[in-house]
Structure formats: C-alpha cells, structure tokens
Structure 1
Amino acid sequence: MNQLPIDAVLPEVLRALREGTNAVLIAEPGAGKTTRVPLALLGEPWLAGRKIIMLEPRRLAARSAAKFMAGTLGEKVGETVGYRVRLDTKVSAKTRIEVVTEGVLTRMLQEDQGLEQVGAVLFDEFHERHLHGDLGLALALQSQMLLREDLRLMVMSATLNAEPVSELLGGAPVIRSSGRMFPVETRYRASRMEGKVEPHVASTIIQAIREQEGDVLVFLPGVGEIRRTASILAQSGLPPQVRIAELHGNLSLEAQDAAVAPCKDGERKVVLATSIAESSLTVEGIRVVVDSGLMRVPRFSPRTGMTRLETTPVSQASADQRRGRAGRLAPGICYRLWTELEHPYLPLQNTPELLEADLAPLALELSVWGVADPGELMWLDAPPEASYRQARELLMLLHALDGEGRTTGWGNRIARLGLHPRLGFMLLKAEELNLTAEACELAALLSERDLLPQERTVDVQLRLDALHGRHGRAEVDRNAVQRIRAQAKQWRQMLEPSRGENDSTWNEPSQIGLLIALAYPDRIAQRRTDGRYLLANGRGAVLPELQPLSRMAFLAACELDDAGGESRIRLAAELQVDKLEQAAGEQFQVEEAVEWDAAALAVRARRRVRLGAILLKETPLQQPAPERIAQALADGIAQAGMGLLPMSKAAKQLQARMLLMARHNSSWPDVSEEALLASVHDWLLPHLYGMKNRSDLQKLNMVQLFEGLLSWGQRQELEEQVPTHMSVPSGSRIPIDYSDPDAPFIAVRLQELFGLRETPRLAGGRLPLTLHLLSPSQRPVQVTRDLRSFWNEAYFEVKKDLKGRYPKHYWPDDPYAAQPTNRVRPRN
C-alpha cells in the first residue's frame, strides 16, 4: 500500500479515540484522510464489532471513497465497505464501514437514536457546512450525551477552523496532517466579464490546452454554464484528442465515473465541473485547474418564504480547495479568473447552509427527534430564529405539527419519506384522492432541476409531457428522466408496497394544479384585473411574459423568485378552485365579518370565503348579532375619531369644562379625545345598539353621555367651580369659552366691569379667568388675567382712545367707583 501523509498521524488518531470519544482531524487535500482513517479504525477494540459510519456530503465522493477502500481490501463494494446514497445502496450483512450521504445519516439517527449498531461516526469534509451535516452532528452529540457515552465522533476537514469545532466536541484533541501537494503555480486573469463568464472560461481553457500538459479541471457555478461552455469549446476547433466531459450531480452514475476515470493513451480531457469536484475526489490526470471563481448556493428568504439559487463569488477556502486539485498527482497550474487584487476581498469561508436555507426539513427532523427549541442541542451555528419560526408555521399549515408544535402522525410519516415536507404532505394527501402514482411522479419532477430550462412557458404540464416523451421542442436530459422515474418508483413502493407498479395516468390536467396547491397552499395565485397575481401569502406575483397560463383565473405556483416587490412565477399550473375545495376544504377559511366600512361610514356585515389573503367570495351576512354591529360601530368611531359624533356647541363646552376639572383633580374622568376613543367600548357601546351608520349616530345626545360619566356630586362641583356663564357687575351673564382648558375666557365690554376690583377665578380659585375687554362696538381693546393691574396702569391710556372714538359713552376717571353699564351711559 502506497504511503500517504495521513499515515504519519494515524497513531495519534487511534490514541485520541482510545483515550476519549471525540476528535478533530485537519488534513490538507491529498493527505488520504477519507480512505485511510476508516480502515485504520476497523481493528480498534472499542469498536467491538460495531459499524463505522462516515458522512460524505456528496454522492459521487461517497461512492468513490467506498470503491477505493473496498479495492484496498481486495474486495468489491458492498462487502466490508459499502455505501448508502439516494437511489443507490450497496451494503450487506458483513459491511463494517458505510459511507453515507447526509440525508441518510439523519434517517439512521431518527430510526435508532442510540445508534446501537454503530461504534463511530466520522463527518468528512465538514468545512462544506451542509445543513444535514450540522444537523447530524447536533443529533449525534445529543445521542452521545444521553444514550451512548461510548459513541466515537470525529470531524474531518481540510480547511476548517478547528478551534470552535473542538470546543463544541467538549475540548476534543485537534490532530493535523499536511497533505501531499505538488507545487501549483497560480495565475490570475482579468476580472470576469459581467454576465458572460463562459467565453472567458473557454478562452482560458484553450490557452491551457495549448500551453500546458495533462488534463484540465474547470469549475463553473452550474449546469447551464457547463453546457454553454461546452458548446463554445465544441466550436473552437480543439485538437481531436481532447475530450470534453461534464461532472455534476445531474449526471448518471456511469457518466460521473467516466468523468473521473483516467484517459486513454494519447487522449486528454477537459472536465467541466460544479463544486462537486472540490473535495474528497481525485479526478485522474488533472494537471490544470481553471476556476471561474463562482458558485451557486440556495438562499432562503424569511421575508417571502421562498428559496432562490444565487450565484456568488467563491470563498478563499473554496478557491484553495479548487487550486489543490491541480497538485494532487504532479506539479500543476491554476488559472483564476479574477485579479490578485480582488482575492483578499473574497469571503474567508463559505457561509454555513444552515444560516441561509429553508429550515422546514430541519424543523420537522428536530420535532421528530423530540426537540421543539433548537437551543436544546449543541450547534456550531444555531438556526436563525426568524427562519426557524417561519418553518414551524409552514409545518403547522401542512398538518405536520399540531397547534402545540408537536409532531403529528402525518409529520412522522412525512419525515420517513425523506423529502421536503411540502412534497411529503402532497404525497400523503394524494393517497386519499387515489392519486399516489401521479403525486410521486410530480414530487420527483419538482425535486429535480427544470427538465426544460430553456422553455419560456412556465406550465408544469409541459415538463410532465417531456418526462413522458411528448415534448418535441427541446432535448430532454435522459439522466434526469431516469432519476425522476426511479425516485417516483421508490416513493410509490414506500407508500403502497402491496399495490405493485401503478403508472401515473394524469386523466385530468386539473390534477396537476390540485396537487401543487396541496404542497404549496401559500402560493396559490389569483389573477388581478391588471394581469398580475395575488398570492395566498399576501405577496404579489407576475408571469414573466404573456403565455397560455396568463388567461387563467387561478394558478398553483411551485417555483418563484423573490426579487423585488413582486415574485416572478417560474413554474405553475392552472388551478380549479372547486376541485381544491372538494379535496382540501380545510384550506378554505369561512369568516363572518361585521366591520366598519370607512368609505361608506357604516357597518357592513359580510360572509367571506378566503384562501389566505385571496378573497374568493363575499355575500351579505343575514341577521348579524346586534352585539357585533354595535362593536363594529364602536371600532369605526375609534378609527375615524370624534368627528363621527354629533358634538354640539354645548357638548364641546361640557367636554372642555370636564377637561379643566380633570387637570386639577385626578379623580375626574379623562374626556380628552384620545382617552374617549381609547375607551369608546366602555362609555359609548351600550348606547349604540340599533345603530349602524353615521346618520344613526346623529341621534346621540352627547351632553347627556358626558354627564353620565359624572357622579351627582361631581355635577354640582362642576356647576360651582367651572360654570357655563359669568355674571358681571353690569348684571349681564357672559358665556365662558373653555376651548382652551388652560386659559378659559370671557369676552365682555370694558364698561360692564366698572367696580370689579379683582380678576374672577375658576376651579376653586386655582385658575384666573382670562378677560377679553371689548370696546362698545365689541372690538377687543385689551386681554388680561390681572384686572387690578389693568385698572391701575393701562385703563387711562385705553380711556383716552375710546373717549375719542366713542364720545357719547361713559368713561369715568375712577373705574373702581364708577357704575357698570351695558348701555351707552348708566341709568340714574
């Protein structure tokens, strides 16, 4: 067996797991950790005949690692070493090492929380920080703490920051191994042309083929970029011995194996790959790496409840992983399609998927595990609260959780199916409708990338036609078709094992929209008059262009983006709402609304049928309860303000007088507009029965209503301390204006106050009355709150002016001794 750098630290790894239960292994690319460590642990006494489970994030890497380890033992895969990945399992009764992908580990933990047949769980390439990897580690740590103190856990990575992981594992020892890396020259290129990465990549590949030796591994963000780059290369006149190979998760197992296999003599290959080729995988013959510097990641938006794939710059850690692919077997070269100045500004590490993903699957798994609050588990990064809360709300909508947040019987069944809770709910609901085969096919179709990525029409019907070979306008990925059929078959067998094969029939096109609406009840869309759509979740949506579905009154959307204020519908089907009501009447909310209509200034009683924010039907509600009408009328007054009430001059004056008393005595009721509106249900509601609009409200006697807020003693006190009128020396009764409770006033002719020495006072003498002194023609000549001061100082100047303008009137020299009068001159 060839020596690898990891061999030097294997004794340290074995010692760490003999003396403790946890360890962290940091090994550079090419060190051999993935294939050497599990084999080295097989003979350890603490294993005691149990299995080793190694978590590998990617299916291709899992199969490749198992195949390599089996070959090392001189065996076939499925004997001592096996693997479990989606749609492909090779294990047997004698299997001791199982390489599994992340979802498989979660299912194993859920089915046996103690992992009784497992001695160790290894988390390989943990730096990729996939959601199920973080979840698997959190569950395994709790299992170790509560059920299996002897369970060994080891986190392995090439670029991970080891200290936080070590702390999470209880201060586990960190073992480091240098990799077997040949020198790799790094060449930076000009920045990527915005939106045109493929020509830039293709020209770099052509240059590398011309200048360098060996095969070329090219990193691109997605399948679309891979296909477009391959098309450019096919037309570029590459030498005939250069073969173009694709490497991504959509390929068949055979195509993936061919891409990583060594070339024939005299042949060279260019492997166009996604991030699948970053780690745990040696692509034979690679001497050159071309890195576009881009990656595609799913981003979930709690604001919209939707996930979109976003193309982002790679992290420095990923760039280093990619660069290392060129130096695994010999000296190499790496072309980076960004400048050296840009490199330090790349993020250091990839953002953990847990922080940006749809957490509905995780929330369901935690609930099945028995955890309602993620804080009960230990995480490297805890799930974001907003996303987790929204995930649980969705699970309740899908009946996977009950009103208390506990897993329902349906929730447990959905979790065992191992697909997104939306699609799991659709499958279970389809059983009741005798549409299991159709639902399994649709779920598998929606779990894959779009079969018709170039198709501008968003109708799911076209994708199903393509799946069945009825779509002739575009070439369909046969590998994807095979995967969809295999996955649909697997789910059918899980749901209906006794019924055997039963192909989907799709007897009615309406079945498509019905099933989608079951999985995505929040994305049912109603067409508005302007052609845009209103979603059941309250957001707006638009079709990207005019198409047959644009005429439909209702759509069931299964894929949208969340860019801007309105989502763009990417995949949808026509929905017949009456069929949905027959199949899932519980989705429809019937409400009897008695509420204030601000436009009509009246209470309206309506019976409404809704799908979330979508109003389907509204009819008058017959004979609503009088109590509800009165309540709604009171609500309307609280919203619209006191302007709805017949506030006469007397009512306004009484309100002002009461406010004045309340300012000087806290035992008095607060009758400010704010307080009255806030308590309208207390003081006004009993008087609203039989009324329903503004006209009816005009019958109210607001003076009586305000007086009703006072006790008999308070009414007497009110008349004494803040009277409606003031008797002045001339004998006139002058009304007091209380519009400003801080400065009530009377407007009185100056001559009527002769003989009055002091300013009148209100509220038990606490508040002086403001005096607006008028001329004989009722025009103001002075405003004062100190009458004595006016007589002593200002009166004589005012008298001169008034005497000149009103010579026939009475203007005495001594206002204190003068006779008050409301006439031109006093009577004898």
Structure 2
Amino acid sequence: MKTLPIDSIMPSLLETFRSHASAVLIASPGAGKTTRVPLAFLDEPWLAGRRILMLEPRRLAARMAARYMAASRGERVGETVGYRVRMDSRVGPKTRIEVITEGILTRMLQSDPALEDVGMVIFDEYHERSLQADLGLALCLQSRELLRDDLRILVMSATLEAEPVSALLNGAPILRSEGRSFPVETHYLDTRWEGPLEQKVVHTIQHALKQEEGDILTFLPGAGEIRRVEARLKELELGGQENAGKRIRIEPLYGNMPSAAQDRAIAPCPPGERKIVLATSIAETSLTVEGVRTVIDSGLMRVPRFSPRTGLTKLETVRVARASADQRRGRAGRLGPGTCYRLWTKEEERQLEAARTPEIKEADLTALALELAVWGVADPSELSWLDIPPAAAFRQARQLLARLGALDESGAVTPHGKRMAETGLPPRLAHMILVAIPLGLGGLACELAALLGERDVLRGLRAGEDVDIRTRVEALRFVQDAGSDQVEEYAGISLNRSLCRSVWAEAEHWKHSFGIQQEASDTAACGLLLAYAFPDRIAQRRENGRFLLQNGRGAVFTKIQSLANAPYLVAAELDDQGSESTIYLAAPIDAEQLEKYFADQMENEALVYWEAGQQSVRARVRKRLGAIVIQEAPLLEPDPKDILYALLSGISSEGLELLPWTKQARQLQQRLQFMHRQEQGQSQGQGKWPDVSDEALRETLPDWLGPHLHGMKKGADLQRLSLADILLGMISWEQRRELDKEAPTHIGVPSGSRIPVDYSDPDAPVLSVRLQEMFGLMQTPRICYGRVPLTLHLLSPAHRPVQVTRDLASFWQNAYFDVKKDLKGRYPKHYWPDDPLEAMPTSKVRPKPSAK
C-alpha cells in the first residue's frame, strides 16, 4: 500500500481517541483521510468490535470511498467495508465500516438513539455544512450526553475553521495533516466575461486540449449547463475525435445520474483515450476523478435558497466561495503538476466570500423540524449546533408540519408524522404518498414524488413553456411502455431518456418500499395529490388569468397555455420573485375534489364589510380555503352591530368627505375647534370643549356619529344626516350660548355690515372686510373673552387683500397712507379720506351725501 500524507499523523490520531471522545482533523485534499482513517481504528480496543459510521455528503463519494477501502483490504464491498445510500446498500453481517450519506445517520439515530452497535461516527467533509450533517452531529452529541458517553465523534475536513467545531465538541483536540499536492499553475481572465457561459467554457476546453496534458475536469453550476456544453462540444465533433493521438471522451458528472454513468466519469481512461469531465460541485471534494491534470472552473454553483416570507425554496446560481475554488483547483494537482483556468478576473477573485454559507441558514427546515419532533425536541436550542436554525424558518416549518398532520395541537409529533419521517422522503412528498395509498393512488403518488425530486424529464422546453406535470407522468409511462432505447420524444417534445430511466427506477423503489402494487392511476388525480403535498399552493384563477394562492400570494404563467384557464390548480414549483411568483410546474384540481377532500381545512365566515366601489355595506357568507373563496352567497340577516361597524369602517377608510358637510356644519366644526385650541392654551379648564378636528372625529366615529347611523347601509343614506345638529349635540346648552358669544359666526363692523368670521385656522381666525367699512374703528376686534384679536384681511373695492394685520391702530397710523395713495390711483371714484378715524365708514363707493 502506497504511503499517503495522512499516515504520518495516524499515530497521534489513534492516541488522541484513547483518551478523548472527540477530535477535529484538518487534512488537505489528497492527504488520504477519507480512505485511511476509518480503517486505522478497526483494531482499537475501545471500539470493542462495534461498527464505524462515516458520513459523506454525496452518494457517489460514499460508494467510491467504500470501494477504495474494500479494495485496499483485498475484499469486495459489503464485507468489512460497505455503504448505505438512498436506493442502494452494500453491507453484510461482517461489515464493520459503513460509509453512509448523511440522511441515513438520522434514520439510524431515530430507530436506535443510543447507536448501541456503533463505536464511532466520522463526519467527513464537514466544511460543506449540509443541513443533514449539522442535524446528525447535533443528535449524536445529545445521544452521547444522555445515553452513550463512550461514543467517539470525529469531524474531518479540508478547509473547515477548526476552532468553533472544537468548542462545540467541548474543546476537542485539533490535529492537522498537510496533503500531498503538486503545484498548480492558475490562469485568470484579463477582463470580465459578459457572454454566454457555455461559449467561454467550450473555448477554454478547446484551448486546454491543445496546451495541456491529461484529462480535463470542468466545473459548471448545474445539469442544464452541462448538457449545453456537452451539445456544443459534440457539434464541434470533439467527442470521439483524436487529440494528441488520443480519442476524446465527454463524460457528464452530476448527482442525479445513474450510478454506472457516474462511475464511468471518475474511472481512469483506458490507454489511448482522454476525457473531458463536465461536473457540478459533486466533484469538488471526497472523490478523485482519475487522470485529471487540468481544471476549468466556471466559478459558479447552484444552491437551494429558502424564503421564510413565501415558504418557497428555489435554486439560485451563485459565485463559489474562495474555499470551494481552492478545492476545485486542487483537483488538478493530485497526480502531478497541473493547470487551473479560472473564468473570472483577479479583481473578481477578491470579491469572493471566504466560505459558503451553511445550508441551515438558507434551507427549508421542514424536514429538520420533523426529525427534531420525532426526536422529542420542539425548540432547537435544546441541542448543540454550530449555527442554530433560524427562528422564522423553523417556525414556518412547524406550521407546515401541523398542516400536514405531522404535529398535533400541542406541537408533539403524531403517528402520521412518525411514518412520514420513517420514509426518508421530504415531508411534503411523504405525506402525499401516505395519504394517496388508501385512496388507491399510491402508484401515481410515487411517480409524482420521483418527478418532483429530479430535474425536468422533458428536454428543449423554455422556462414556463409547458408547466403541466401530467405531461411528465404520461411521458414517463410512455417511455417505460415503449422501451426507452426506442423513444426520442413524447407529444413532440424531446425526452431525456437517461433521466426517464432514473426517475422511473426511483418511482419503482418507492412503490416497493411502501408495498404498493396498484395499477397506474389516471393522471387526472395529479392535482389532488399535489394538493396534499402543497396545500399552501392550491390556487384559484382570477379574472385577469392570474392566480391567487391559498397562502395569499399571487402566481402567474409567463407563457400562454391551457392551464391558464383552469379554475383551480396546484403549483408544485414556483419562483420567489416580486409580488407574483412564476408557476413552473402545476396540475389542475376540481372544485369538487377540494370540497370533498379538503372540507376539514375550509372555514365558513360571515362577512359584513364596506365595499368602496358600491359605496355600500355588503353582507356575504363565504366558504374559504385559506385566502381562496370557494363559495359566496348573500348573508340574509346580518347583525345590525356588524352593519354599523362596517359603515363606520367605510367612513374611516374613505374619509369624512363621505359625510354631507354643509357650509354651516364646517363653520360650526371650525368654531368648536377654535374654542378647543384656545382652551388648550390655558392652564385651567381643560376638557370643556371637544376636539373636533378631522383626525379626532375620524378616531372617535363610533362615539359621536355611531348613534345616528342605525338603519343606514349606503353612502346615499348618509346624506340624511345633519352634521351641524350632531356637532351641537356634543356640547351643552350653556356652551352653545357661550360659543355664539365668544366665537361668533359674524362680526358687526362700523359700516353696519355683519361680516362672517373664517375659523379655518383655529389659531388665527380671519375677518375679511373692505377697508372703507372699517373707517372710524380704532382697535382690532377681539373674540374669545377678548383674548384673541382677529386677523384682518383689509380688502380693496375689488375684494382683494391690500393689508393683513392684527393691529388696526398701527395700520391707521403707519401703513394706511401708502395704501390710500395706491388705492386712490386705482379707484379714483371711491372715498379715500385723509383721516380714516374721523371718516364715515361705508359699504358703498362713497358715503351718503348727507353724511359729514
């Protein structure tokens, strides 16, 4: 067996676990930690013949690690070393090391919290911080605290910040091993690339084939980009052609491929061949792609992002973190000096985040919340976490679980919830299948679950072009019935044959797991089954062709299609953009199905409300499913109190202008408000005069207006009100007399005219009067116990203000003569005396001739 860098630290690691229950191992890529460490512990006395579990974040890495370790012992997988991943298991009675994916550990812990026959749990590549890894570690730590103080825990990583993990493990020792890597020459773009990603990737691959030796590993964000790059390479006839005397192979590598295709992509090339591997981040850690000397990194990856605001998870393409970029580059230096082409500039490099965000901070936490509920934990803070689950997302997850029947009213897990968790499926899909089985729809539910867990089996469709999931189910069955090797398309749409095979195999796996032997169900039930999985995404068509989701959000199609006319549908896949989400996958559901199968979730409500468009109170009875109104009819005998409340709400929302304000009523309001404001300015007597400002009246509508509205329902009915009488009813008889005296409607002036007072500004009432009518009056008129001088707007004969003053005496003495000079020039026929205090006031052009 060849020597690996990890071998030098193994004695220290073994000694550490003889005296400690935990440790953190940091080992560079290529050090050999994944394949050497588990084997080294097999004969340790403290293990006492029990098993070692090693967690890997990906199925492919788990299978390859087990195969490598088994081969190093000269055995087959399933003897001393085996693996368990979803839909595939190779273990036997003699298996001592099990390489498992992270969800498998959770299932083991739920069935045996003490892990009685396990002596050690190893978390490999923990720096990826998957949700399941964080959950598994939290559960293992509590299991050790309460049940198994002898359980060993080892956390391994290449790029992890070790100190926080050590603290989480109660100060566990940290060991470090330098990997064996060869120098990698790194190339950057000179300028930022703005064109299609596939174009730049293909160009770089062509360049690398000419300039570099060995195989090429290209990192792309997802399967869609992989397919497009593969297609362009084949258009260039690179696949199958010779380069430097070697035949070129193009090998995709991503998570949802058949195992045989994944194995072929990472296996070494036969002599005379050279391969181009087009991979997602699956090839970033854990496994070695044999023969790679060149890495081309797009700098992008696809991650799930959950929005607590909408309850939706969407895949988002993001920049890789520096730690991930370094992991990718290291793949070129495993066998000898290599080359890495980074499709970004050095300036962009400086903007990369140091490490990726832990999934627990951004993912849908419904599955985690269910596992914790089965574990007996309602509050995540009861466990130890490197990052505690976000409160909003966790709360929303528990609300969904309650709606799916997984939690009871007290928040404890139900028997149905336990069965959901035992399936290992996402909670929505597990609930769908469990409910579908007694309805005779279990087979269809398994097919839907398999389809929803994969990317689209239909090729060549633009986003939103055909969102009907029934087309996918029918295509899947068509391929299976006709033979996938002979089928290229369904209903004129190109098919992804390999994916169809994979999806069908998964559907068959779930049917077998649930013991389903039913015949294929009519796809007409797809909408009903999706409604069980996504009750919050049942949607009702609006008049404009858009849809209202049960959770109150809007949804819309971006392309014209038949489902746009469905009265009801269920959206299985949505984005999370703006006020209306785009529907990407859906199926119709009948109103009859909703009423039959979701009657327990519907609520009958009596509504009495103001309808602004009709300017009237309406009384309706509605049957609702969340925000969706299923049925609506008139409410025949509404409570008069409800009518009054609705009418008052309408007045409040539309404003007091809805009321019949006469000139008299407005002036009365202003006079009352004047007295209130003057009272507010005094040190005594507070509260005598009511606040009748628009704001105060709006806030106290039930008190002053409510008693006068009985029997009224419409805006037209309000016109019968006398607001002046209602306002007067707010004060006593004595106050009315006082109001007339201290805030009079009119003021008598020297000419004999009675001029109205404008109280629109309660702090400065205005008397607008022609200047000639004020001759002979020395002082400004005062109101409110003589405390408030009126603001005089002295007008020209044309009723335009020529002076504004609150000091009439000063005006006569100082400003009058300038005003007189101007007015006399403009109005020569009018009377402009030299002494205004001795002159005869007049409302005419001149005083009567008899006047002197």
TM range (shorter): 0.7 to 0.9
- Tell me whether 1:627 sits opposite 2:641 in the alignment: yes
Number of matched pairs: 823
Which of 383-392 and 348-357 deviates more?
383-392
Q: Is the 8 A contact 2:370 2:421 kept in 1?
A: yes
Question: Could you list the per-position Cα deviations for residues 402-450 of structure 1 after superposition, in whole angstroms to 9, with x for gaps in the alignment?
Answer: 5665544443333332222222232233245332222122112211222
Q: Is the 8 A contact 1:190 1:337 kept in 2?
A: no
- Of residues 770, 781, 790, the one that matches 1:769 is 790
Deviation at 1:156, TM superposition (A): 0.8
Q: Which residue of 2 aligns with 1:740?
A: 761
- Tell me whether 1:255 sits opposite 2:254 in the alignment: no
SS in 2 for 1:298: strand
Q: Which residue of 1 aligns with 2:518?
A: 503
- Tell me whether 1:350 sits opposite 2:356 in the alignment: yes
Q: Is the 8 A contact 1:812 1:818 kept in 2?
A: no
- Of residues 443, 456, 464, the one that matches 2:473 is 464
SS in 1 for 2:455: coil
Q: Which residue of 2 aligns with 1:519?
A: 533
Q: Which residue of 1 aligns with 2:124?
A: 124
SS in 2 for 1:741: coil
Q: Which residue of 2 aligns with 1:643?
A: 657
Which of 368-377 and 78-87 deviates more?
368-377
Which of 607-616 and 622-631 deviates more?
607-616
SS in 2 for 1:469: helix
Q: Is the 8 A contact 1:458 1:569 kept in 2?
A: yes
Deviation at 1:160, TM superposition (A): 1.8
Q: Is the 8 A contact 1:250 1:479 kept in 2?
A: no
Q: Is the 8 A contact 2:459 2:496 kept in 1?
A: no
Q: Which residue of 2 aligns with 1:39?
A: 39
Equivalent residue letter for 2:612: A
Q: Is the 8 A contact 1:181 1:327 kept in 2?
A: yes
Which of 477-486 and 643-652 deviates more?
477-486
Question: Could you list the per-position Cα deviations for residues 544-565 of structure 1 after superposition, in whole angstroms to 9, with x for gaps in the alignment?
Answer: 4344434444332212334566
> RMSD over aligned Cα, in angstroms?
3.9
Q: Which residue of 2 aligns with 1:179?
A: 179
Deviation at 1:33, TM superposition (A): 0.9
- Of residues 551, 557, 573, the one that matches 2:571 is 557
Structure 1, unaligned stretches of length 5 or more?
Answer: none
Give the direction of change, closer, same or farther, for the CA distance of 1:815–1:484 in structure 2 (3 Å limit): same
- Of residues 673, 681, 695, the one that matches 2:716 is 695
Counterparts of residues 345-494 of structure 1 (less than 5 Å): 345-401=351-407, 406-455=412-461, 457-470=466-479, 472-474=487-489, 476=495, 480-492=499-511
Equivalent residue letter for 1:306: L
SS in 2 for 1:655: helix
Q: Is the 8 A contact 1:810 1:824 kept in 2?
A: no
SS in 2 for 1:736: strand
Equivalent residue letter for 1:514: L
Give the direction of change, closer, same or farther, for the CA distance of 1:16–1:676 in structure 2 (3 Å limit): farther
Q: Is the 8 A contact 1:524 1:536 kept in 2?
A: yes
Counterparts of residues 512-551 of structure 1 (less than 5 Å): 512-528=526-542, 531-551=545-565
Q: Which residue of 2 aligns with 1:678?
A: 699
Deviation at 1:307, TM superposition (A): 3.0
Deviation at 1:206, TM superposition (A): 5.2
- Tell me whether 1:271 sits opposite 2:277 in the alignment: yes
Give the direction of change, closer, same or farther, for the CA distance of 1:711–1:439 in structure 2 (3 Å limit): farther
Q: Which residue of 2 aligns with 1:59?
A: 59
Question: Could you list the per-position Cα deviations for residues 278-332 of structure 1 after superposition, in whole angstroms to 9, with x for gaps in the alignment?
Answer: 2211233334434343333223344544333333343332232223223323444
Deviation at 1:715, TM superposition (A): 4.5
SS in 1 for 2:478: coil
Which of 817-826 and 629-638 deviates more?
817-826
SS in 1 for 2:458: coil
Equivalent residue letter for 2:532: L
Give the direction of change, closer, same or farther, for the CA distance of 1:784–1:154 in structure 2 (3 Å limit): same
Counterparts of residues 700-711 of structure 1 (less than 5 Å): 700-711=721-732
Q: Is the 8 A contact 2:138 2:385 kept in 1?
A: yes
Q: Is the 8 A contact 1:198 1:228 kept in 2?
A: yes
Question: Could you list the per-position Cα deviations for residues 504-560 of structure 1 after superposition, in whole angstroms to 9, with x for gaps in the alignment?
Answer: 4223x3201221222223333444555554444444444443444344443322123
SS in 2 for 1:704: helix
- Of residues 581, 588, 597, the one that matches 1:574 is 588
Which of 805-814 and 112-121 deviates more?
805-814
Give the direction of change, closer, same or farther, for the CA distance of 1:320–1:798 in structure 2 (3 Å limit): closer
Equivalent residue letter for 2:303: V
- Of residues 726, 732, 742, the one that matches 1:721 is 742
Equivalent residue letter for 1:271: V
Question: Could you list the per-position Cα deviations for residues 217-242 of structure 1 after superposition, in whole angstroms to 9, with x for gaps in the alignment?
Answer: 33333333334444444523523744
Find the aligned partners of 1:467 and 1:768 in 2 and give their Cα distance: 90
Equivalent residue letter for 2:119: G
Q: Which residue of 1 aligns with 2:683?
A: none
Give the direction of change, closer, same or farther, for the CA distance of 1:292–1:781 in structure 2 (3 Å limit): closer
Identity across the alignment (%): 57
Q: Is the 8 A contact 2:488 2:497 kept in 1?
A: no
Q: Is the 8 A contact 1:55 1:102 kept in 2?
A: yes
SS in 2 for 1:171: coil
Find the aligned partners of 1:190 and 1:739 in 2 and give their Cα distance: 70
SS in 2 for 1:351: coil
Which of 194-203 and 32-41 deviates more?
194-203
Give the direction of change, closer, same or farther, for the CA distance of 1:765–1:114 in structure 2 (3 Å limit): farther
The TM-score normalised by the length of structure 2 is 0.85
Question: Could you list the per-position Cα deviations for residues 561-602 of structure 1 after superposition, in whole angstroms to 9, with x for gaps in the alignment?
Answer: 345665443222233232222221244454432221222222
Give the direction of change, closer, same or farther, for the CA distance of 1:821–1:172 in structure 2 (3 Å limit): same
Deviation at 1:634, TM superposition (A): 0.3
Counterparts of residues 68-79 of structure 1 (less than 5 Å): 68-79=68-79
Give the direction of change, closer, same or farther, for the CA distance of 1:138–1:732 in structure 2 (3 Å limit): same
Give the direction of change, closer, same or farther, for the CA distance of 1:644–1:73 in structure 2 (3 Å limit): same
Find the aligned partners of 2:823 and 2:468 in 1 and give their Cα distance: 91
Question: Could you list the per-position Cα deviations for residues 158-199 of structure 1 after superposition, in whole angstroms to 9, with x for gaps in the alignment?
Answer: 122223333333333221101122343445567796564445
- Tell me whether 1:605 sits opposite 2:626 in the alignment: no
Find the aligned partners of 2:35 and 2:821 in 1 and give their Cα distance: 115
Find the aligned partners of 1:779 and 1:199 in 2 and give their Cα distance: 77
Give the direction of change, closer, same or farther, for the CA distance of 1:10–1:288 in structure 2 (3 Å limit): same
Q: Is the 8 A contact 1:803 1:811 kept in 2?
A: no
Q: Is the 8 A contact 2:301 2:318 kept in 1?
A: yes
The TM-score normalised by the length of structure 1 is 0.88
Give the direction of change, closer, same or farther, for the CA distance of 1:799–1:503 in structure 2 (3 Å limit): closer
Find the aligned partners of 1:544 and 1:650 in 2 and give their Cα distance: 57
Find the aligned partners of 2:138 and 2:812 in 1 and give their Cα distance: 89
- Tell me whether 1:104 sits opposite 2:104 in the alignment: yes
Equivalent residue letter for 2:137: L
Deviation at 1:96, TM superposition (A): 3.3
Q: Is the 8 A contact 2:257 2:502 kept in 1?
A: no
Q: Is the 8 A contact 1:206 1:238 kept in 2?
A: no
Give the direction of change, closer, same or farther, for the CA distance of 1:683–1:171 in structure 2 (3 Å limit): farther
Deviation at 1:275, TM superposition (A): 1.9
Find the aligned partners of 1:754 and 1:162 in 2 and give their Cα distance: 95
Question: Could you list the per-position Cα deviations for residues 593-638 of structure 1 after superposition, in whole angstroms to 9, with x for gaps in the alignment?
Answer: 2221222222122334445444454433322221111111101110
Q: Is the 8 A contact 2:442 2:516 kept in 1?
A: no
SS in 2 for 1:172: coil
Give the direction of change, closer, same or farther, for the CA distance of 1:282–1:761 in structure 2 (3 Å limit): same
